[in-house]
Amino acid sequence: MMAESKKIVITYSGMKKLQDELEDLKANKRKEVAEKIKEAREQGDLSENAEYDAAKDEQRDIEARIEDIEQILKNVEVVDEDDVDLTKINVGCEVRVKPLGGEGEKKLQIVGSTEANSRLGKISNESPLGAALMGKEVGDVATFEAPAGEYKYEILEIHKIDE
């Protein structure tokens, strides 16, 4: 018997992006790669056909991604950004924080792990900083440990994520 999969917390916009990607993979990418495989087959000997091998690799990657997205979508718990309590930090919030004893401020979006992208300021609620911020209110200090030491951030503002 398969173990119970853990629920994946995701914002509505994050779920929509996954659904759109899945649709594109199934409707377009599968056809494109099937055409590449067909063209490569028509070139003859497949044992030394780099285009055929590349197309088969791409096909395997597409199918794996389709399977991943379908698995994620089966186990999602969608956070409705309109229902997010803005008095406490939770998934679906954007927060402005200031490092204690440090310079500057950071704007961070708290999202589910599948949406996290640190370059875009989207951090997972399961990351060390994200977990430390969860449930905090404006004025609170979030503390977390990292390999480089202990970090403390003061929460300055909590609001809804602007898409």
For 49, residues 6+ apart whose C-beta sits below 8 A from its C-beta are 40, 43
CB 66 within 8 A of CB 25: yes
Range of the domain at 69: 8-78
CA distance 16 to 113: 15
Residues 69, 91 within the same domain? no
Q: What is the CA radius of gyration of the chain?
A: 21
Report the pLDDT value the prediction gives residue 3, as an integer from 0 to 100. Answer: 46
CATH number at residue 149: 3.10.50.30
End position of a domain, from candidates 78, 100, 121 = 78
Name the pTM for this structure.
Answer: 0.67
Considering its fold, how many domains does the chain have in total? 2
More confident residue, 163 or 133: 133
CATH number at residue 28: 1.10.287.180
End position of a domain, from candidates 78, 96, 122 = 78
Q: For 100-115, how does the pLDDT look when each residue is reduced to its tens digit (9 = 90+)?
A: 987 889 999 998 888 8
Number of neighbours of residue 155 by Cβ within 10 angstroms? 19
Report the pLDDT value the prediction gives residue 13, as an integer from 0 to 100. Answer: 81
Number of neighbours of residue 129 by Cβ within 10 angstroms? 21
End position of a domain, from candidates 56, 78, 100 = 78
